[in-house]
Structure 1
């Protein structure tokens, strides 16, 4: 199928990462940053140039497009989805991608900041990439492979089908979302307009990875209320909310239940933001576990620690708020076994060993699944995301393209 096909995924990726699309968790708009639309407009133009006439960008920053069916069979409508935004954790402005052709297996020194070195000792997946072509940033920014690798893969898949009309497939929908990195990726997605029955995100890591399970997630906000007083006359009056919040944080476990002390299927409680003054402090947490019921256990632990802390500071008060963020997609996907079965077969047809994984995080697919669109996650090759050591293999991206082309064909083969 791909013998004479010239992949476009590398060139697309190199273009896309140079567009700053960082999202902003403090913004209340949708998208959270208008600059995300800069890339989305480019994608619409490129899709239309391929002949996909209905490609469009809406006011909220979502790109919708359709590759029309070319088969007489009745085939469920499937969708491929990736997000255009990059994480707020590290700047995505002025990204300078560097291609390391025929990677030699050694340390990679990033030229714009030689103290930034990507070492196989710290990134063991690099040991599998010797002889491949790697792309990194230059040392002062993230790369943006999360998830512009997924965007580029989907765009190359679209290009493949539009230039190979003899390859049979059903109707394929494309969805590019904003603000996934700040947990709002599908807040305003119009699933009726999308019109898909099943979907796949392209947002997983190493070659062959297939994820049908994610964390379940809640957000917790604790607001500490102290008592303000003039510091010169504060004896027996002042209750400093910052000290109360600090004591509460100090009471949390240091050897467990945190991202830095957990792995595999272990959950965690993670403070992500603190803001305030002596009178009032707001502390935000993310709570994660593969077993949804455990979230309530972790939240009870926080309440118990909070109550004990308040007893130490007479006069202090606190509000405790829990917000559901997303749930483990496996709870939905187990009801539709063909969605996973076809994806696994497609990865194997691409000549890639299948790696079944559970994502220690969430994707747009986590929420889409519970919105009525079952949506697991497929590899793109993106690695070490959200930081300056991010990298991706060109060959991994190409295998991702092959996998979702095969996946589309499998859905057609199974049609009636």
Structure 2
């Protein structure tokens, strides 16, 4: 099988792997295992003998070391198999626009969906490249099947070329990243890596070693339910209380009004009845103190609203979701520095950045596996406007191959 990163990618996006936040199973959807089984089969076909899919939907595999150096660290490369619940991932029909000449891209099955250069400035750097999009009716799944295709292609290159020196390399493909459960049951002892790199970023040449820190907040409100015909001076409607709380959230502290290193308070769920209501929120900031400040502000708002409703009560629960991986990565600077060098060797000028979000790498870092995030080349994730270029995926493959050599070179003889 003479596969390329593009042919692999097109094969993988055709498999529906959308995860389900309402499911309590692991993985949240069995169809993610369909891709997992295919990846195991393909890994074995290139010589990765221990490749397997476990009961929780994780794919593991090992590329053995081929160097005489004993102290080369064990590196893991990781990507997630699921696609986001935000938009349909069923029946993906990718189109390849060869030798892109510039201009807006009208998607063939829905002419109202247009990938506009004005909104996607990275297209200006893709002249002459081959662009992959959908027909406009589904998302593409470059998040993160581009990363999977890149790791698989690099693995095939390393297995086929024993003259490329490297230490032991571990491969990990995870389910359920898009619903925040991507590493819940990963077996780090079985994985046996010293550190990892996720390939789940966007623009070619970018590496991200910083994420938001993140908490979830649930507010349960108990109002006073009275027959509306006799409610004057007595009813305290939990729905109205919840609406008043949301209305008082600072407008300058919302996702739609923030950028860069600014955090936010973001209501994600509102439900209820006259007697009981629930508000779900997410809180994001690059520092834990910034999180705590926003949570104190939120509780202050709740208390002020509740003063007007003396017969009602509330309960506020804060759940830690993930933390800024920079706290961990700063202790091992070579993990990022060597990736920057690999990007240079692959012919790009590296760009170091922060993610206004999180990745599996955030959780893995705090579980004891330091893990920055490398580019995979995709853009406009979670939408029907998602796109990726073949050449950027090839650059990611080259970066992986260069990176394992950088680590081998630096190990003592």
> Residue 100 of structure 1: which of 79, 97, 101 is its match?
97
SS in 2 for 1:239: coil
The normalised TM-score by structure 1 is 0.96
Q: Distance in 1 between matches of 2:230 and 2:88?
A: 44
Post-superposition Cα deviations, 1:94-131, rounded to whole Å, max 9, x if no partner, equal 11111111112111111111100010011111111111
CA distance in 2, matches of 1:312, 1:100: 60
1:39-188 aligned within 5 A: 39-74=35-70, 75-188=72-185
* CA deviation map 1:70-110 (0-9, x unaligned): 11112110000000111111111111111111112111111
TM-score by length of structure 2 reads: 0.97
* 1:7 Cα deviation from its structure 2 partner: 6.5
Contact 1:7 1:398 in 2 (8 A): no
Q: 1:292 to 1:7 in 2, by over 3 A?
A: farther
Cα distance in structure 2, aligned partners of 1:210 and 1:267: 21
Q: Which residue of 2 aligns with 1:288?
A: 284
Match of 1:248 in 2: 245
Specify which of 218, 227, 231 is matched with residue 234 of structure 1: 231
In structure 1, the gaps of 5 or more residues are: 1-5
How far off its partner does 1:389 sit? 0.8
Please say if 1:350 is aligned against 2:351.
Answer: no
Q: CA deviation at 1:403?
A: 0.2
Candidates 198, 202, 205, aligned match of 2:199? 202
Once the two structures are TM-superposed, the CA of residue 166 in structure 1 deviates from its matched residue by 1.5
Could you tell me whether the CA contact under 8 Å between 1:102 and 1:131 is conserved in 2?
yes
Name the SS of the counterpart of 1:157 in structure 2.
Answer: helix
Would you say how many aligned residue pairs link Structure 1 and Structure 2?
Answer: 410
User: Comparing 277-286 with 384-393, which one deviates more in the overlay?
Assistant: 277-286
* RMSD between superposed Cα atoms in Å: 1.1
Counterpart selection for 2:380 from 349, 370, 384: 384
Is 1:312 the counterpart of 2:320 in the alignment? no
Deviation at 1:286, TM superposition (A): 1.0
Displacement of 1:147? 0.7
Matched, 1:23 2:4: no
Where structure 2 has 5 or more consecutive residues not aligned to the other structure, the ranges are none
Q: Secondary structure at the match of 2:149?
A: helix
SS of residue paired to 2:7: helix
